[in-house]
Each structure stands twice: as structure tokens, then as C-alpha cells.
Structure 1
Amino acid sequence: MPGDDTKARFVPPGLRILLAYRREWLVKDVVAGVVLTTLLVPQGMAYAELAGLPAITGLYTSVLCLLAYAVFGPSRILVLGPDSSLGPMIAATLVPLIASGGDSARAVALASMLALMVGAITVLAGVCRLGFIADLISKPTMIGYMNGLALTILIGQLPKLFGFKTDADGLIGEFDAFVRGLADGKAVPAAVAVGGAGIVLILVLQRWLPKVPAVLVMVVLSIAAASAFDLGEHGVSLVGELPRGFPPLTFPAVRLDDLAPLCAGALGIAVVSLADTISNASAFASRTGQQVRGNEEMTAIGAANMAAGLFQGFPVSTSGSRTAVAERAGARSQLTGVVGAGLIVLMLVLLPGLFRNLPQPALAAVVITASLSLADLPGTARLWKQRRAEFMLSIAAFLGVALLGVLPGIAVAVGLSILNVFRRAWWPYNTVLGRVPGLPGYHDVRSYPEAQQLPGLVIHRFDGPLFFANAKAFRHEVMRLAVADPAPVWVLLAAEPITDVDTTAADELEELDEALNERGTSLVFAELKDPVRRKIERYELTRTIDPAHFFPTIEAAVAAYRERTGAEWTPVRDDGHATGTAAAPPGDDWSHPTAPENTADT
């Protein structure tokens, strides 16, 4: 009934899925939830420390975002949580605001406020249907950004992997501090052994035994090694006892002067989180036959971030690796995430000391292996082979992250993507068309040098909208075609690719038409879209451009030209014009600029 459909619109997507829940899904969801928890706990703690926060906050964050997405999320199996790609961005936002002493309570409050801001931005984006925000980063710039992020994470985790700390900031500074630490003998051999073995173990298991929970196996073995060999007494830093219980609902207290830098960081994190979420949602939806609801996804991501922010959490995103684990384990609904959240809460309440002997280098191994999955070197090599301009965009985004930092890097990535779009619109492809014997239609004379043209007729195609940035270039190109010897009688615009004409371009068109008329050449349009034609009429360009010079197709325009001139098809010259000349019938004023009638466009 219509009334039921209206009511269903106000029911959160997760609850709609729950109402359609099938009994046979229950066992699979519970098993998948148990399997997922084995990944959620170590990754949550590792990514919290990557963000410069206490490990326990990663568990708080995991619980709240899973529960919130279970209610508001439209995807049945998408898994949210702390993410390796967001960790450096969170740290880059928080570090300048935290005193050198490293006040952990203030860091948690700032991170929670950051999560609330990210949540507010993404909810607003969802409500306002701003799904296009996720498209602000093109794939080449995203590849470069992720490559830079992977390198930044890797370098930043090396001191932890080797058992010591540095106070440096930035990729170059951190690498320099790491090298100096090694030179000063700060490396702890036991830490190097644990961390290095952890990386090798995870990579080997992921490569050869993908169904085995590699991170869990590594964590269990490293805890066993720390307990058996008393690694804490050999200089290896351990996680220690986690706080028991769960934090109360808390609105983070921050200073007013913290809000502006937090907001700047939140914008960058929101863009990356949305892009990551939409791409993951699309990938898994195509495999499960579900439909992607971008605006609902944004609202759900916002709800998850806000829930985390109210319980001492930090910004979250979708995790492709954790979603893949849940899918392989048989997950059928968001009950999988609810089971995972419940098990983490039970662990915090009943077994807070379970990870007491987990070595910090093991967490570094988790982060480093995750960072390796962010890098896309084959994609970079493919860009080099396929399109050098986009390869350079990718490298520029990479250098933006590596040299300027993570947050400026995302600004560089977004800016480069937007500039690339503008560049393509600024300098669109344009060419002359001709007739190719044996092929229907009209084709690019650059691709078909043997194409034929009619003497006195130049068919020009401009592949883009006409607007303020490219209007002068368009006028220059048409005038270049018109100054040939002999001058063309018509310059026929194959206007189907021209999707818009703004007021600046309209003025340029008017001046162009008048300049062509003075040379005895007419500007003629074919296949102009109706909305664009109406704009031209609204701009009153038909005062100078003869309304009879608008044709529905190129064929119709060519037929009209041949009928009036008697021109025959001839091969194209090197300058793009046909050989021979076209003669207009005497007294036919459409071809003479001095004709007493229609002198505006002859």
C-alpha cells in the first residue's frame, strides 16, 4: 500500500533488513561474527596507535561504529571500523593540537570531536544528496595518494617495529630520525625479530593460505613468544592491561580555538572516507546483487562516526579487507557486525588482560602489512603505459603526500583531480571531419587521411562545452580554418558534443560570426542539442546567425550545401581543406557578404 511505502522510507535501512531477516542466516552470521572479531581486535588496537591514540580507543570505536551501521547501513555485509588510510590523517590533525608532553586524554577528546565533525559532514552530504563528493578524487590521483600514504605509514611504523620511538614529523623527518636511531644503536633485537617474523608470517599466510586468519595467527604466536621468552624484560614494549569495561556516553570537551583545525582535518577525512565507502560498497554490491544507495551509505557512515565520537572513539571508514573476511566467513547481514561488537564488549568486561603480553612490534607488523595493501604499483605502471599525463598526476599526488604531509596531500589530490577535469574542458579535442568511402558517417581526418571533403565546406567538431575558459581557443581555431586560401564558404560545426554555451562563449560566437561574415564565410550548425539551441536563442544570437543555418544532422547540412553549390567530394589537402573550389549560384545571397538581405550572416 502507498501508506506502507511512505512509512518504510522513515525506517532506517538496517531495521528494514532486520524485518526481512531469514532464520537460516543466523548460524552463518554468528560464525562470521566470531571470525571477524579475531581481525577486529588486533587491527582496531593497531590503527588506534597509528592515529596516535591509546590502543583501547580502537576497540571502543569498533564496537560503536558496527552497532550504528547495523541500524543505519543499507549494505548487508559492509564492515566499518578504524582504517589504515585514515590513521595518518587523524594523527596529522591531532599532533599540532597536542602539547609536546602527549596528553592522551586531550588526544582522545580531540579525536572524538573529529569523529563528530566527520559524522556531521557525511550526514549532511547524505541528506543533501551530495554523492558526487566521493568523485572528487580521480583514480590516478587516488592511486598516487594511496602510494604516498602507504610509504608514509611504512616509514612511520619502522621505529616501532625496531623497538624505539622518535619525535620527528613528516616522511623525510621520520626517515631521518629512524636512520639516526639505528646509527645510535636504539634498535632492540628482540623487537626486530618479533616484528619482522610477524610481517613475514602475515604475508606468507595471506599469499598461500588466504582462508587462514593470518593476523590472528600472528597475534597469538607473538603473545605466546612474549610470554615464553619474557620479551618485556628484553626491551620489547607490550600493550599491557586494557582498561576494564566500556566508557560512558561523553561529549568531548575541546577548546574553541581547536575547532577550525579540526574542521579542516574532518573535511579531508570525510572525502577519503566517502570515496572509500562508495567504492567498497559498489564492489561488494556487484558481487552480491545488491543496489548501491550512495546517499544512504553517507548517512550511515555519518551515524557510525557520530556514535564513535560520543564514546571516546575516532573517525572510521569502510574496510575492504574486513568486509572480505566477513563475506568469506558466510556473513548474510549486519548481525555479523553486531556479534563482533558484542564479543569485543565481553572481552573488555571479562578479559581485559587478554592482550596484556601482545608486543607493540606485532601491532606495527599489522599496520605495515595493511599499508602494503594500500599501495598500487601495478596500477602506477599501467598509467605509465596507457596515459603519461595521468601518470604524472599520480606522481604529483604521491609527492604531495610524501613531501607536504597527509592532509595537504589529500588537498593536492582533490585539487589535481579538479584541475584535470578543467584542463580537459579547457582544451578539448577538436578536429576536421570528412567522408571515408565505405564507412557511414563523417570521420576524423587525422585518423583517416584519405577522407574526402567538399570544396568550400569545412566540417569542424569541438568535443566539449563552450564556456569562458575555452571560448577564445574555439574562436581562434575556427578563424584558423577560415583564413585558408581559398576561404571556405561554410564552416559547419558538428555541434553534437557541445553540451553548453555560457554567456562569455555566446559573446565570442557573436564576434566570430561577424568576423566570418566579413570574410564571406558563414557559420553553420548541425546536430546542436535542443537545450543548447534554446540558450543560443535566449542570448539573441540568431540576430547574427541565420536561423536557416541550423540543421538537424550533418547529412542534412551537407545535402543543403551541395544543392546550393553543386560541389563534389574531393580528397583532403594537408591543411585539412578539400581541393578545388565551390561556386555559389549567382544571386544566391546566402554566400555573399554584400547581399542586400540577411547581411548579418551571409
Structure 2
Amino acid sequence: MAIDYRQWVPGVQAVRDYRAAWLPRDVVAGIVLTTLLVPQGMAYAELAGLPPITGLYTTILCLLAYAVFGPSRILVLGPDSSLGPMIAAVLVGLVGMGADPSESVGLASMLALMTGVLLAAAGVAKLGFLADLLSRPTQLGYLNGLALTILVSQLPKLFGFSIEGDGLIEETAGFFSGVAAGSTVPAAVAVGLFGLVVIVLLRRFAPKVPGVLTAVVLSIAAVAVFDLSERGVQVVGPLPQGFPPFTLPSASWSELGILAVGAFGITLVSLTDTISTSSAFAARTGQEVRGSQEMVGIGAANVAASFFQGFPVSTSGSRTAVAEQAGARTQLTGVVGAAAIGLLLILAPDLLRNLPQPTLAAVVIAAALSLADIPGMARLWRRRRIEFILALAAFLGVALLGVLPGIGVAVALSVLNVFRRLWWPYMAVLGRASGVSGYHDISQYPDAERLPGLILFRFDAPLIFANARAFRDQIRELAAADPPPTWIVIAAEPITDVDTTAADVLEELDLELNEKGISLVFAELKSPVLEKIDRYSLTRTINPDHFFPTIEDAVAAYQRQHGTDWSRP
């Protein structure tokens, strides 16, 4: 069977469809993009606890691989601020603080390989729905916690010293202890804060000016002019010339377990970020989102990076926005960026040797500030307190437990929130409100009319094992009214399923109500659910004549049988 290259290798089709008129814009956009890729790649590598050069290796390989396997025209990949702390957490858990860089790089490459395989496998299996494991409120809380964690981790570097600490509390205590002990390097604080102010102000007031590049160039110039390296400011130093050798990632059996947990968490975050970012830019460019192929493309990028001292990558909204604003038309923009970084490593590896470490910290802190969304938390507080609590719990999970446990907390909270809505769904007694057609919740319309002896009850969820008892208890409470009802009509349109546990509860409940002279009646049951009712043989106890296509039909049947009319409560 012939391979459909358009599906699995979109880059082949992109080459065939490429237009010469696009070339100038793609080349210019690629050069502009490089000015952001280089400093961010180096900064995010250090955020992950790795040598800065690995950020450039990773950027080159992931851009080239995504150009071949990625479906988006302009999506840009690379080292990411949201993944950096997760990678660092895995490495610290395996080798501890201050480990041999070569050992950390090897483990990070294995982590990238495992992440890539998971992403590609998820894409082939069409498991894009896994991104839904992080709901918006928990994602918001997670990102705010991540932003705080990144900010605190970079403050010592911004102030010119280093600390030993694991986790937000220890790092915060270590930072303030260092400041109190006089470890601060004034020149480092000055150049770091200067870089941060430049990035933030240009992003706010002149977004078309490359703030990161401006901060980097001015900081390098400051090191040369004021001889800051002699004043205690640490610099990147010379970068290795050329490319790293092809290396097969490896790890011991004892290390694979921790790496697998980390790879799963990184995969989930990368998947969520990719789906949201690609959806946003696809809507603006008129493309369709191909979620499964996006996962294959991101997976291929991670696998490619893993063989050349790379670490896990994801999509970047900020870099994609830069490429779009610069006029990018295709993935050739990323290829140009990769080629430009390659030429930098071959021809001018000393170009960035005087780049101050506090400036890299400023780049990371600026990225952390962009991750934070305090107004979003405030909106949740105003709109829905329960989701604010979920977001706050996810925030505290990341801030207090760490990044990897925090992602676990966020996922668990999202899943529990789904089950909470199934366990305790909204339930309402309905009545006929004046001036409004249909039947409505009497808690919203207290003066709604009701038929004596009839209760209209709506249950807003599938009827399954998790909520069958809550349904039964509510029906029992309604049946215990004084005077007792004759019919309890279930407005069943929201009930999209009835499982076997719920079927048994319904059967027992109907028998119990029949002994009290009360009929259980259903209206608006969907055809698939009615078929299940028949399959469960529930009509042995529930009168087959007590299933109506609409609430109006059920009400009319009751009125014909009992001769009652509507009355106000």
C-alpha cells in the first residue's frame, strides 16, 4: 500500500507546493526569528539545569524535524519556559544538585527521546483528547504556580550568586539568606534589571522591536565597556564550535522509572500547549488543526533533538507570533532559523561569550511573567468560586510540592472536577412560569404553576453508578411530600446514558414507589437511552405507557387521567 506523504510527512507536500514569491518573506522572518531563538534557547537550557549550548543544539534539530513532520505552516518549536522546571526537577531527582553536566545532558536526551516517542505514539493513536486532562482553571493555576517557581529560581542568578535549594520554599529562603549575607553583586543586579526592564517595556510599548535581542546586545556591550566580568558579573563564556556528535541516549533501569514519569508529565503539558497554540494560529491563518499530526510532528522534533544532546521541546506562542509578524509563510522560516544558528556555531562561537548570566535570568523571568495570569484568577473568583478553588489548589500544588507533583495535582483536580459534576449534578423541580414558554426551575421562578399530584423533576447528568444513589435519594424526598404526589415525571432530556447500576436502582425505586401508589414516569428520553431501558428489561416494572416523547405529552396524559388543572403554590 502506498504511503500517504501528505498525511505523515507534510514537509514533502510543502516543498512541492512552495511558491518562489514566498522565499524573501520566509528568509527575512527566519533571520528575525533567530534573534529570539538564540538567547531564549540558551536561557531555557539553563532553566532546565543544562549548559546553554544545549539550548542551541535543541533548537536546530527540533526546527528541522518539525519542518518535515509538522503540519502547521508557521508554528515554531523550541526550548520552552514551561518545560524547563519540569526537566530540571527530573534531573535533580536523578543526579542531584551540581551534577556533572555531561551526565545531566545524557539524561535530558533520554527524557527527550521518551517524550518524543510518547507524543508520536499518541498522535498515531489519535489520542489528542489527552490534552483535555488539564481543564482551563487547573491549567491557569498550574501556569501561575510555574511562573512563581521560575521567578524565584532565577532571582539568585539575577543578583549574581547561586544557592543550594530544592523547591519554592527552600529557594526563597536561600535567596533571602544570600541577600542578607551580602552575596549580592551590584553590577549583576544592575545589568540583570536593566535587561528585564528593556524586555518588558519594549514588549509593552514597542512590540515590533525585538526586546530580547535588544537586551542581549546592550548587555554584551555593557560587559565590554564597563568591564563587568571583573566586577563579579558571570558571563556565558565561549561556546563549543560546530555540532555535537550523533549520540544514542541511554539510561540505567533504575533511572527509567523517574524518566518515564517526567516524560508523561512533559508530554501532557506539551500536548496541551501545542493544541491551544496551534488552534489559535490556525484560526488566524485559515488552516485546520490536525491535532494527531501535530503530536507526530512534536514527537519527531523531540526524537531528533535527543540524538544530538537535546532536551524536550514544545511549541512557543511568543516565537510563533514573532514569525507571523515578520511575514513567515511556511516552515522554511524555521529552517532558516536553524541554519542561522548553525552558522553562528561554526563561524562565530565566541560572539556570545560576554553575554551576562543575569541577562539570561532576565530573559527567563520575562517569560515567567508572561506565563502568569493574575487577572484570569480574578475572573474565576468573580464568575465561579469552585473553579477558582481548583485553580488555587493547582497553584499551591506546583508552588509547594514541586513542578512534577504539581502537574499530577492539576490533572487529578481536573478529573475529579469532571466526576464531581457527575456525582452531584444539578437537579430541579419544574413548573410553568407565566410569560415564559416551557417548564422552568421553581427555584428561579418561585411563583411557577404546578399540577396537584404531579412533580416534574429534571436530572442534569447521565444516570450512572456514581450518581444513581443521589438520584434515588432525591426521588424519595419528593415522594415523601405532604400530600404525596401521584406521578413523578422525570424530564430526562439531559440524561444521555443509563448504566446497569443505575438500571438496578431504577427498578428497586419503581417497585418502592408503586407500593406507595406513586408512578415513575419518563419524558424526553433519547432513543439510545430508551433502547438500553428495553435491553435492561426495566419495562417489567416501569409501565411501558409511562414513557412520553415530550413533557407536554406527559402533562396532558396526567391531566386526562386525573382531571387536574394548574395552580400556583
- TM-score (structure 2 length as normaliser): 0.99
Paired AA for residue 260 in structure 1: G
Equivalent-residue separation in structure 2 for 1:74 and 1:133 (angstroms): 19
- Partner of 1:422 in structure 2? 419
Partner of 1:191: 188
In structure 2, C-alpha distance between the alignment counterparts of 1:9 and 1:158, rounded to whole Å: 47
- The match for 2:319 is 322
- Is the aligned partner of 1:237 residue 2:234? yes
The match for 1:96 is: 93
Which of 431, 440, 443 is 1:443 aligned to? 440
Shift in CA distance, 75/100, structure 1 to aligned 2, threshold 3 Å: closer
Match of 1:594 in 2: none
1:483 lines up with 2:480 in the alignment = yes
Q: Which residue does the alignment assign to 1:74?
A: 71
Q: Could you tell me which amino acid in structure 1 is paired with residue 90 of structure 2?
A: T
In 2: Cα distance, 1:527 partner to 1:8 partner: 48
From 329, 348, 351, the equivalent of 1:351 is 348
> 4+ runs of 1 displaced by more than 6 Å?
none
Distance (whole Å) between structure 2 residues aligned to residue 70 and residue 547 of structure 1: 61
- Tell me which residue corresponds to 1:301: 298
Is residue 233–residue 356 contact of structure 2 (8 Å, CA) maintained in 1? yes
Cα shift at 1:28: 0.5
Tell me which residue corresponds to 1:385: 382
Q: Give 1:104 shift.
A: 0.5
- Please list, as runs of the form range in 1=range in 2, the aligned pairs for 1:140-155 lying within 5 A after superposition: 140-155=137-152
CA RMSD of aligned residues (A): 1.2
Q: 1:267-286, aligned counterparts within 5 Å?
A: 267-286=264-283
| Residues 1:47 and 2:12 are matched in the alignment | no
Identity %: 67
Shift of 1:20: 1.6
| Residue correspondence of structure 1 range 149-188 to structure 2 within 5 A | 149-188=146-185
- 2:507 paired residue number: 510
Look up the match of 1:112: 109
The residue type equivalent to 2:382 in the other structure is: K
Residues 1:8 and 1:312: Cα distance change in structure 2 (over 3 Å) = closer
Distance 2:320 2:257 in 1: 34
Following the alignment from structure 2 to structure 1, what is the Cα–Cα distance between the partners of residues 361 and 297?
30
How much does 1:7 deviate? 3.5
**Match for residue 500 of structure 1 among 494, 497, 504:** 497
1:455 is matched with which residue?
Answer: 452
* Secondary structure of 2:522's aligned partner: strand
Q: Distance in 2 between matches of 1:419 and 1:73?
A: 33
Distance 2:567 2:385 in 1: 37
Distance 2:174 2:7 in 1: 54
CA apart distance, 1:43: 0.2
Measure how far apart 1:499 and its partner are.
0.8
Deviation at 1:437, TM superposition (A): 2.6
In the alignment, which residue of structure 2 is the partner of 1:20?
17
Q: Give, in whole Å, the separation in 2 of the partners of 1:373 and 1:14.
A: 31
Q: What is the CA–CA distance in structure 1 between the aligned matches of 2:231 and 2:535, rounded to whole Å? A: 81
- Specify whether residues 100 and 559 from structure 1 end up closer, same or farther in structure 2 by C-alpha distance, changes over 3 A only: closer
Give me the whole-angstrom Cα distance separating, in 1, the residues matched to 2:273 and 2:401.
Answer: 22
For residues 208 and 344 of structure 1, the distance between their equivalents in structure 2, rounded to whole angstroms, comes to: 28
| Aligned position for 1:597 | none
Partner residue in 2 for 1:213: 210
1:512-533 deviation line (CA, Å, top 9, x unaligned): 1011001100001111011111
> Structure 2 counterpart of 1:488, which letter?
P
Q: Which residue is 1:585 aligned to?
A: none
Once the two structures are TM-superposed, the CA of residue 101 in structure 1 deviates from its matched residue by: 4.5
Equivalent of residue 544 in structure 1, options 526, 541, 547:
541
Q: Distance in 2 between matches of 1:252 and 1:227?
A: 39
Other structure's SS at 1:201 match: helix
Number of paired residues?
A: 569
1:332 is the counterpart of 2:329: yes
- Out of 234, 254, 259, the position equivalent to 1:257 is 254
Could you tell me how far apart the structure 2 residues matched to 1:443 and 1:558 are? 14
Q: Distance in 2 between matches of 1:439 and 1:22?
A: 59
Query: Is 1:571 equivalent to 2:568 in the alignment?
Result: yes
Once residues 437 and 50 of structure 1 are traced to their aligned partners in structure 2, the CA distance between those partners, rounded to angstroms, is 63
Q: What is the DSSP-based 3-state SS (H/G/I as helix, E as strand, rest coil) of the residue aligned with 1:570?
A: coil
Return the alpha-carbon distance in structure 1 between the equivalents of residues 162 and 480 of structure 2: 71
- Post-superposition CA distance 1:522-547 (Å, at most 9, x none): 00111101111111111111110111
Taking the aligned partners of 1:9 and 1:253, their CA distance within structure 2 comes to: 33
Secondary structure, aligned partner of 1:534? helix
* One-letter amino acid of the structure 1 residue matched with residue 233 of structure 2: V
Moved more, 558-567 or 516-525: 558-567
Amino acid corresponding to residue 243 of structure 1 in structure 2: P
Q: Structure 1: how far apart are the matches of 2:8 and 2:538? A: 52
Choose 1 or 2 for highest CA Rg: 1
d(CA) in 2 for partners of 1:175 and 1:219? 27
Among candidates 107, 122, 126, match of residue 125 of structure 1: 122
Q: Whole-Å Cα distance in 2 between the matches of residues 113 and 432 of structure 1?
A: 58
C-alpha change, 1:291 and 1:334, in structure 2 (3 Å) is same
Unaligned runs of 5+ in 1: 573-602
SS at match of 1:274: helix
Pair 10,144 (structure 1): closer, same or farther in 2 beyond 3 Å: closer
Shift of 1:22: 1.7
Alpha-carbon deviation of 1:487? 1.3
Q: Distance in 2 between matches of 1:195 and 1:438?
A: 65
In the aligned structure 2, how far is the partner of 1:565 from the partner of 1:363? 80
SS across alignment from 1:524: strand
**Which residue number corresponds to residue 81 of structure 2?**
84
2:29 maps to: 32
Matched, 1:362 2:359: yes
Residue by residue over 1:418-446, the C-alpha shift from the partner in whole angstroms, topping out at 9 and shown as x without a partner, is 00111011100000111123322111111
Task: Give how far 1:10 is off.
Answer: 5.0
Q: 1:139 aligns with which of 119, 133, 136?
A: 136
Instruction: Say whether the 8 Å CA contact 2:120–2:298 is kept in structure 1.
Output: yes
TM-score, normalised to structure 1, is 0.93
Q: Is the 8 A contact 2:212 2:363 kept in 1?
A: yes
CA distance in 2, matches of 1:244, 1:217: 24
Contiguous gaps of at least 5 residues in structure 2: none
Give the C-alpha shift of residue 99 in structure 1: 4.8
Distance in 2 of aligned mates of 1:290 and 1:253: 39
